[in-house]
Amino acid sequence: MSIENVVSLVSRVGMSKLSAVVGDERLVRLSELGIPMRPSTISDALFQEQGYEIFRNKDLRESVLNSLSEDQLDAAFGATDRPHTPSNLASFTWGRNSQTEKFLSIFGVSLELAFPPSENSIPYLSRTTIKKPLFDYQNSIRKQLNNFLNQDAKNRIIAHMPTGSGKTRTTMELIADFIRNRDQSSPTLIPEIALK
């Protein structure tokens, strides 16, 4: 199954459940980037940030299982284990184990894909913590440049800021936003950015 299908199944859980999983702070950040607040876009952003680790959250697993038919649950967990109750099926420790493998089979995903041997081999699955966020003026410029990229679809932009004001830091955050919000099905070309 493709990533789009995983995002589609996760978006079925609804906005309120996704909001609880994502958290208010991240929703505000996504909104500031101009991302529409819909289950599909929130699911996509969540998957881009965390990959299959989003299913570490038991409540999200249970909500996904609640959205499936009995036949789909039978196919993943076996018809002999009936009755299937999503709360019982979702109660397992996320990791390299048989229950995780059964859960991932709903999406047509193998343990090897969800748990690659080296985290460095798939960089978008790694999680980072921002230790020093942008200053307000840098964040404002980043948002303006993001809007310019999203609306005009240009392949060149110029970031003009005074010496020492953090042009490189601001544009690196812009590039990170651009990569996070790209279409996964096609190659990503980073726009030409001139710093002045």
pLDDT-derived band at 153 (thresholds 50, 70, 90) equals low
Mean pLDDT of 110-123: 67
Q: Counting Cβ atoms within 10 Å, is residue 24 exposed (0-12), middle (13-18) or buried (19+)?
A: exposed
pLDDT-derived band at 145 (thresholds 50, 70, 90) equals confident
Mean pLDDT of 48-73: 85
State the pLDDT at residue 90.
85
Tokens (6 digits) for 172: 């690196």
Question: Residue 193 phi/psi, 5° resolution?
Answer: -120, 120
Residue 109: count of CB within 10 angstroms of its CB: 18
pLDDT-derived band at 2 (thresholds 50, 70, 90) equals low
Q: Counting Cβ atoms within 10 Å, is residue 11 exposed (0-12), middle (13-18) or buried (19+)?
A: buried
Angstrom distance (rounded) from CA 68 to CA 9: 9
pLDDT-derived band at 164 (thresholds 50, 70, 90) equals confident
Residue with structure tokens 């990170």? 176
- What pTM value is reported for the model? 0.55
Angstrom distance (rounded) from CA 123 to CA 95: 19
pLDDT-derived band at 130 (thresholds 50, 70, 90) equals low
Better-scored residue on pLDDT, 121 or 184: 184
Angstrom distance (rounded) from CA 22 to CA 157: 31
The rounded radius of gyration (Å) of the Cα atoms in the chain is 20
